[in-house]
Structure 1
Amino acid sequence: MSVTPLQALPVDQLRQRSSTKWRTYPEDVLPLFVAETDFPLAPAITQRLERAVELGDTGYTPPDPGIRSAFVAFARRRFGWDVEPRRVRSTCDVMMGVTEIVRAIIEPGDRVVVTPPVYPPFYDCVPEAGGVVERVPLTHVDGRWELDLAGIEAALADGARVVLLCNPHNPTGTTHAQESLAALAEIAERHGARVVSDEIHAPLTHAPAEFTPFLAASDAAARVGFAVTSASKAFNLAGLKCALMVTASDATTAVVDALPDEVEWRTGLFGALAGVAAFDPASDAWLDALLATLDHNRRLLADLLAAHVPGARYEIPDAGYLAWVDLSELGWGANPAVKILRDAKVALHFGPKFGAEGAGHVRINIGCAPEVLTEAVQRIGTLLAR
């Protein structure tokens, strides 16, 4: 059955927003950097928030705002993943959840493995939790990004205590294979380590790729793993502040249950209300329409780069709306987004912020109208002719 793509809002309307994407740069800049999308909210979310405002329902978040059961149903429906509600606890956002879990399972000074190029806050949350970052870059073989399992095992054998996983991976858009995740779990268990998996982009996995929740990858993964996720990326709810910490064993659940009450108190009420509406079956059609739009855009970007920015290297991502593009051959330096912002008036995310492996790269947000994406790449292409 065909799905009608979701239509982005007009740019003049988007410029009335007060969020980071639309308030960081002047109006002559097209913003395709931070992870916000340009679409209207799912109707069920709008209706729920409008009702809350009508009621003045702006108080403290209750002990059970419904987000646990809503996520459990969503995970079963969309991923075929059975989650026990008692093993789900909320907090403010994914990186706060990651930080608090890491803080709880390491001793100060312990090393935590990250897999660059990777989401820049990973480099900040580890020291905030008292750990030290240990870099084990992804490998790139035959056009696929993969975990360096041998490198991770060496790090754990040498004393690292935690692997901070990005699944699906940001910025490459890679969905890690079940076999790779199961192998990672076995390695971690063999060395008495834990895995904390950021799974915020999971709802945006594009067919035929499949998302495998880390905790469902194997029995060992259930024993050693923690997952942290949210509706915020798929449904554009980052400002409302609600994330979920998920476990699958008694030992890991005890860790999350023992976190200070304040960790859960940080959950935003509007975030919880919006998350319940996002995870409801009523929002599935909206999510499917979004996926249709993003699928078109991820392929459109390949065509646009080939036509206007020859020399750019880009592999269509498995998931998400963030495209990782190598512009090294253009000779625009280690951080080509600086030149692109200055001379083409297009704001992209700075590649080096994702680690040394990001030199010469940019990350492009394709969660916009095809016309906006087209104009952005055409502007970048004019730099080659100057």
Structure 2
Amino acid sequence: MSVTPLEALPIDALRERSSTKWRRYPHDVLPLFVAETDFALAPAVAAALSRAVELGDTGYTPPQPGVREGYAAFAQRRFGWTVDPAKVRWTGDVMMGVVELLRQVTAPGDRVIVTPPVYPPFFDTIEEAGAVVERVPLLESEKGWQLDLAGIEAALVGGARSILLCNPHNPTGTAHSRESLAALADLAEHHGASVISDEIHAPLVQPGVVFTPFLAASESAERVGYIVTSASKAFNTAGLKCAQIVTAGDRPTAVVRGLVDEVEWRTGLFGAIAAVASFAPESDAWLDSLLARLDENRRLLADLLDEHVSGAVYRIPDAGFLAWVDLTALGWGDNPAVKILKEAKVALHFGPHFGDEGRGHVRINFGCSPDVLREAVQRIGALIA
């Protein structure tokens, strides 16, 4: 059965928003940088938040907000993955969860492996936890992006104590294979290391793409792994502050249960309310409609780049609404987003912020209307002409 793609809000309505995407730059700039989307809230989420406002339900988050049960049911429906609700905890956002876990599984000065190009806060979060970043870049081939397992093994042999994984990967949109995740888990277990997997983009994996949560990859993954995730990326509720920390094995579960209560207290009540509504079956149709829109847009972007930006290299992502585009051939320097912002009035995410591997690249947010995407790419293409 075909799904009708979700329609974005009109640009005039979007410019009334007060979030970073719409307030960072002047009105003559098209903002396709930060990971916010341009759609109305899912009806179930909007209704739950509206009811909370009517009730003045703006106090502290309760001890049992329903997040663990909601997430477990969602994971079963969407991923076919059985999660023990008792092994789900919550906090304000994914990076809060990551830094708290890093503080538990590393000592000051320990090295933590990341796989650039990767989400810029990974670098800062590791440093915040007192650890040191160890870069093992992704490998790219005709088949796509993949983990450099040999490079990761060498880093573990050299003493790295943890791996900060992004699955699906930001900015490439890669859903790592079960085989590579299981191999990663085996390496971590053999060397006494842990794996923390940021899976915030998991709800946005396209139909037909096989997605494997890290903890579902193997028994060794259960023993060494932690997942930190949230409904906030798919449902555009990042400002409400709610993320989940999920475990399966006994030792990781004990670590999470040992976190201080303040980790949970950082969760926003509106974030918890929105998460429960997002994970509910009533929101599945909205999410499917969003995925249909993103599927059309990820393919439209490929066509637009071919037509207007000769030399751009773009691999259609498995998941999410973020495109990783190599503009090196255009000769616009290490950070082409600077020229694009200044001369085309289109704001893209700066490639070098994702690591040295991001030189010459930009990240484009295509979680918008096709018309906005067209105008943005046409503006960029005009710089070539």
TM-score normalised by the shorter chain: which range applies?
over 0.9
**SS of structure 1 residue aligned to 2:89:** strand
Amino acid at match of 1:180: S
Q: For 1:371-382, what aligned pairs fall within 5 Å after superposition?
A: 371-382=371-382
For structure 1, which segment, 361-370 or 204-213, has the greater mean C-alpha deviation from structure 2 after superposition? 204-213
Aligned to 1:234: 234
**SS of structure 2 residue aligned to 1:108:** coil
Q: For 1:1-386, what aligned pairs fall within 5 Å after superposition?
A: 1-385=1-385
Shift of 1:207: 2.5
State how far apart, in whole Å, the 2-side matches of 1:143 and 1:215 are: 24
**SS of structure 2 residue aligned to 1:113:** strand
**SS of structure 1 residue aligned to 2:349:** strand
Q: Percent identity?
A: 73
State how far apart, in whole Å, the 2-side matches of 1:140 and 1:296 are: 24
State how far apart, in whole Å, the 2-side matches of 1:290 and 1:307 are: 25
State how far apart, in whole Å, the 2-side matches of 1:383 and 1:143 are: 31
**SS of structure 1 residue aligned to 2:284:** helix
**SS of structure 2 residue aligned to 1:212:** coil
State how far apart, in whole Å, the 1-side matches of 2:210 and 2:51 are: 36
Shift of 1:327: 0.2
State how far apart, in whole Å, the 2-side matches of 1:13 and 1:369 are: 13
Residues 143 and 314 of structure 1: CA distance in aligned 2, closer, same or farther (over 3 Å): farther
State how far apart, in whole Å, the 1-side matches of 2:186 and 2:113 are: 16
CA contact (8 A) 1:120 1:353 kept: yes
Amino acid at match of 2:218: S
Shift of 1:143: 4.5
CA contact (8 A) 1:143 1:315 kept: no
State how far apart, in whole Å, the 2-side matches of 1:289 and 1:45 are: 15
CA contact (8 A) 1:346 1:376 kept: yes
Amino acid at match of 1:40: A
State how far apart, in whole Å, the 1-side matches of 2:162 and 2:67 are: 28
State how far apart, in whole Å, the 2-side matches of 1:226 and 1:220 are: 12
Shift of 1:140: 0.5
**SS of structure 2 residue aligned to 1:379:** helix
Amino acid at match of 1:285: A
Shift of 1:260: 1.1
**SS of structure 2 residue aligned to 1:332:** coil
State how far apart, in whole Å, the 2-side matches of 1:308 and 1:207 are: 29
State how far apart, in whole Å, the 2-side matches of 1:88 and 1:284 are: 21
Amino acid at match of 1:55: L
Is there any run of 5+ residues in structure 2 with no aligned partner, and where? none
**SS of structure 2 residue aligned to 1:52:** helix
**SS of structure 2 residue aligned to 1:31:** strand
CA-atom RMSD in angstroms: 0.5
State how far apart, in whole Å, the 2-side matches of 1:176 and 1:324 are: 16
Shift of 1:130: 1.0
State how far apart, in whole Å, the 2-side matches of 1:49 and 1:336 are: 40
Is there any run of 5+ residues in structure 1 with no aligned partner, and where? none
**SS of structure 1 residue aligned to 2:154:** helix
CA contact (8 A) 1:225 1:252 kept: yes
**SS of structure 1 residue aligned to 2:310:** coil
CA contact (8 A) 1:61 1:265 kept: yes
User: Which whole-Å deviations, capped at 9, do the CAs of 1:95-126 have from their partners, x for residues lacking one?
Assistant: 00000001111111000000000000000000
CA contact (8 A) 1:215 1:248 kept: yes
State how far apart, in whole Å, the 1-side matches of 2:241 and 2:90 are: 10
State how far apart, in whole Å, the 2-side matches of 1:358 and 1:293 are: 27
Shift of 1:193: 0.4
User: Which whole-Å deviations, capped at 9, do the CAs of 1:116-160 have from their partners, x for residues lacking one?
Assistant: 000000000001011000000000011410000000011011110
Shift of 1:69: 0.2
State how far apart, in whole Å, the 2-side matches of 1:16 and 1:96 are: 29
**SS of structure 2 residue aligned to 1:324:** strand
State how far apart, in whole Å, the 2-side matches of 1:122 and 1:143 are: 26
State how far apart, in whole Å, the 2-side matches of 1:103 and 1:246 are: 17
State how far apart, in whole Å, the 2-side matches of 1:316 and 1:250 are: 38
**SS of structure 1 residue aligned to 2:112:** strand
Shift of 1:31: 0.1
State how far apart, in whole Å, the 2-side matches of 1:208 and 1:323 are: 19
Amino acid at match of 2:191: H
Q: How many residues align?
A: 385
Amino acid at match of 1:121: P
